[in-house]
A and B are shown apart, each in its own frame.
Chain A
Amino acid sequence: MTVAKIPASRMRVLAFTSRTPSGSRASMAVASLLLLVTIVAVLGRVLSPYDPVQPVGMLNLPPGSPDHLLGTDSIGRDLLSRTLWGIQISWFTSLVVVASGLVIGGAIGVTAGVCGGWIDNLLMRFTDLFLALPGALVAIAIVAALGPGLKNTLIGIMIVWWPYYARIIRAEVKSLASRPHVEAARLAGVGRGRLVLRHIVPGAVPTALVTASLDIGNVILLLAGLSFLGLGQSAPAPELGADTARSLQLLLTQWWIPITPGIAVLLMSLIANLGGDAVRQLLNSKR
């Protein structure tokens, strides 16, 4: 049996872009999908045709009904409106979580990488401790202890989300600190603060951004899971995971009602992954 060599272009899964000759243009197009979702999320409330909380039509209308594109749920609320509002909450919440990971993890990673010595050791042992725990599970426990709600969900995920960033940013800072340009700056008498802010941190930004953009999809999935378990906002508020959980009993009769929010989550996470991959290629090709 001969095992064919796996061509390098197929290495990166989900990267349609690397196969096209005009790679960077295609990457731009895919990366701009991230922007598109953000615009949809920003305009979610304007785009949604009805109030997501009020009953506005007949009950359990199927998708494609004249006035309700995605149909209505069991008490006559418009599914398109609820999904759009849900997308808005879900997308922005995950951006906030990823940003918090960048900020907290970045601060710890930069401190550890720049200071070195026992500070580095201490911070990294602490980081490893958190990395070695099952983050999603601990997040569930934290939110359950604090009580459900969007704010507590955010706190719960933020507590477990930074270690990964700290690790990656520290490694990047370490490798940057030994580069010639930092050496040169130090020899030129640049102070420590300026050295870090002007010569090291900007160099770590691309890696941090790539890590963050590839991470959005993970956060979206975790948020949807927590919401499904009832740890998100309370009842009438539109939220994708919770909307599925609340309409489970319709699964065998009107399956689209519980499935629609799930598909919205899938699409967001898919776009986040594709977009993250494209961002990575764009930033890597620039170097």
Chain B
Amino acid sequence: MLKFIVRRLGSSLVLILVLSAIIFLLQEITPGDPVRAYIGLNASPEAVAAARESLGLNSPLPLRYLHFLGRLLHGDLGVSFRTHRSVVSDLGDFLPATAELVTVAFVFALVLGILFAVSGALRWWGTSVLRGLLLVLATGPSFLLALGGIVLFYSRLGWLPGGDRGANASGPTGFLMIDSLLHGDVAQWATALQHLVLPALALAIAPAIAIGRILRASLETTMNADHVRTARAKGLSEGAVLGGHVVRNSIGPALSMAGLQLGFMFAGVVVVEQIFSWPGIGNYLARSIPVSDFPAIAAVTLVLGTIYIIANALVDLLQAAADPRLNL
């Protein structure tokens, strides 16, 4: 197991390096001169040349990449052209809101996915209507789900708020739903939850269907397997059959699908946060795009990409824990 863990983490490290190399190359080809951005548009040619030298822009490409990596390791992601602040402190401000939203959306996606997977076994006509509705919604773009949610539940029915987080996080975690509980503020907790429902649902529906479909297929395969028939024939209760013989065997594919879906969620969060004015890094990225603020764009891609790579490594380890045959 240890060997597997080490190897899996090693490959994640390689992936993160590749991602950083891609970002670095993009930074190189992006139009706009970093020197001009750094010392101003009115600088004299001599000053530009001097800055070019001092910033190390005259050294060969591989060396510049090593420089770039070195700065990354020191937590230096550059300065945003738009906010004129260091990108790292911008990210520090905006990351918790995104982390909370994505976590809640991921939980929604898992719950909806499991419901979707087992709903085929329920004998109630309403389930097929709900399933059909979910299926159609899952093929829609995330911005349509977000906007439709706002029109229906905020503007028409007035059940849910249509934007932002409802309050400012006051520490220590930056997760409103945890902080409010730590402060013993139940009313704020409820407000935070209400504000989370619509954006999290807009992010969760498509991944939920993807996870649910896979889970259903693998549940079906396992339920019809010989060892499950044997377990039933032994007279085990249905709960014992499920818990002891089905779940571990069928969870693997759904887990890896869940890991993949996280990538789509990270792309979706950019759109959804913009629509809900959510103070997260997705919204930060969305506002950096129109002004070509590449340091900010690069940093967000790097951070979200790294989280994605680590999350998928964890998914693989979980999978190996659930199914020791994968532990090769």
* Alpha-carbon separation in the docked complex, A2 to B267 (Å): 40
Does A225 reach chain B (CB closer than 8 Å)? yes
A244 at the interface (CB under 8 A from B): yes
In the complex, the answer to whether B238 meets A225 with C-beta atoms within 8 Å is no
Contact of B220 among A6, A14, A133, A258 (CB under 8 A): A6
Specify which of B23, B140, B223 is in contact with A266 (CB 8 Å cutoff): B140
Contact B312 A270 (CB under 8 A): no
Q: Bits for A259-278, please: 1 = Cβ < 8 Å to B, else 0.
A: 10011011001100100000
Task: Determine if A136 and B298 form an interchain contact, defined as CB atoms under 8 angstroms apart.
Answer: no
Q: A129-B18, A251-B151, A262-B140 are in contact. Are A137 and B123 (CB under 8 A)?
A: no
Please classify the interface of chain A as helix (H, G, I), strand (E, B), loop, or mixed, using the class held by over half of its residues: helix
- Asked if residues B289 and A244 are in contact (CB atoms below 8 Å), the reply is no
Q: Mark A117-160, 1 if CB is under 8 A from B, else 0.
A: 00000000000010011111110111011111000000000000
A244 close to B147 (CB less than 8 A): yes
Interface residues in A209-229 by Cβ distance below 8 A to B read: 217, 221-222, 224-225, 228-229
By a CB distance below 8 angstroms, the chain A residues around B14 are 129
Measured between alpha carbons, how far is A64 from B23 in the docked complex, in Å? 48
- Assembly CA distance A137 to B289 (angstroms): 13
With a cutoff of 8 Å between Cβ atoms, the chain A residues found around residue B55 in the complex are: none
Q: How far is the CB of B261 from chain A (nearest CB, A)?
A: 11
B304 within 8 A of A: yes
Cβ contact within 8 Å between A11 and B216: yes
B208 to nearest A CB, angstroms?
12
Do B141 and A3 have beta carbons less than 8 Å apart? no
Q: Give residues of chain B (82-123) contacting chain A, Cβ–Cβ below 8 Å.
A: 118, 120-121, 123
A1-41 vs B, CB cutoff 8 Å, 1 = contact: the mask equals 11111101011011000000000000000000000000000
Do A141 and B147 touch (CB < 8 A)? no
A230 at the interface (CB under 8 A from B): yes
A130's nearest neighbour on chain B, judged by CB, is: B18
- Cβ-closest chain B residue relative to A223: B141
CB <8 Å contact, B266 and A137: yes
- B141, A228: Cβ atoms closer than 8 Å: yes
User: Smallest Cβ distance from B311 to chain A, in angstroms?
Assistant: 10
* Residue A92 lies at the interface, judged by CB distance under 8 Å to chain B: no
Q: Is the CB of A144 within 8 A of B289?
A: yes
B266: chain A residues at CB < 8 Å are 134, 136-137
User: Is A43 an interface position by the 8 A CB rule?
Assistant: no
**What is the chain A residue whose CB lies nearest that of B296?**
A144
Whether B121 and A224, one on each chain, are in contact in the complex, defined by CB atoms closer than 8 angstroms, is no
Within 8 Å by CB of B294, from A8, A132, A144, A221, lies A144
Query: Cα distance A252–B161 when bound, in Å?
Result: 13
- Which residue of chain B has the shortest Cβ distance to A148 in the bound complex? B289
Number of interface residues of A (CB under 8 A): 52
Decide if A262 touches B27 in the complex (CB within 8 Å): no
**Contact (Cβ within 8 A) B135 A14:** yes
Chain A residues whose C-beta falls within 8 Å of the C-beta of B298 in the assembled complex: 141
Interface contact B139-A230, CB-CB below 8 Å: no
Interface residue? B286 (CB, 8 A): yes
Closest to A13 in B: B213
Q: Give the residue name and chain of the B residue nearest to A231 (CB).
A: B289
* Cα distance, A230 to B290, chains bound together (Å): 7
- B5 CB–A CB distance under 8 Å: no
Which A residues lie within 8 Å of B2 (CB)? none
Q: Is the CB of B139 within 8 A of A145?
A: no
Within 8 A of A (CB), among B246-275: 262-264, 266-268, 270-271, 274-275
Residue B42 CB within 8 A of the other chain? no
Say yes or no: A145-B275 contact (C-beta < 8 A), given A3-B121, A229-B289, A265-B144.
Answer: no
Q: Does A237 contact B (CB under 8 A)?
A: no
- A interface, CB within 8 angstroms of B: 1-6, 8, 10-11, 13-14, 129, 132-138, 140-142, 144-148, 217, 221-222, 224-225, 228-231, 241, 244-245, 248, 251-252, 255, 258-259, 262-263, 265-266, 269-270, 273
For the complex of A and B, list the 6 residue pairs with the smallest distance between their C-beta atoms, beginning with the closest. A262-B144, A136-B267, A134-B263, A145-B26, A266-B140, A141-B301
Interface contacts beyond A13-B135, A244-B147: sample of 13 additional A-B pairs, CB < 8 Å, sorted by A: A1-B238, A4-B121, A4-B123, A6-B121, A136-B266, A138-B301, A145-B30, A145-B294, A245-B143, A248-B147, A251-B147, A252-B155, A270-B136
Can you list 16 A-B contacts (CB < 8 A)? A3-B238, A5-B220, A6-B220, A6-B223, A13-B213, A134-B308, A137-B301, A140-B270, A144-B292, A145-B26, A222-B267, A229-B270, A230-B289, A248-B275, A252-B155, A265-B144
Chain B interfacial positions (CB closer than 8 Å to A): 14-15, 18-19, 22-23, 26-27, 29-31, 118, 120-121, 123, 131, 135-136, 139-144, 147-148, 150-151, 155, 209, 213, 216-217, 219-220, 223-224, 238-239, 242, 262-264, 266-268, 270-271, 274-275, 285-286, 288-290, 292, 294, 297-298, 301, 304-305, 308-309, 312
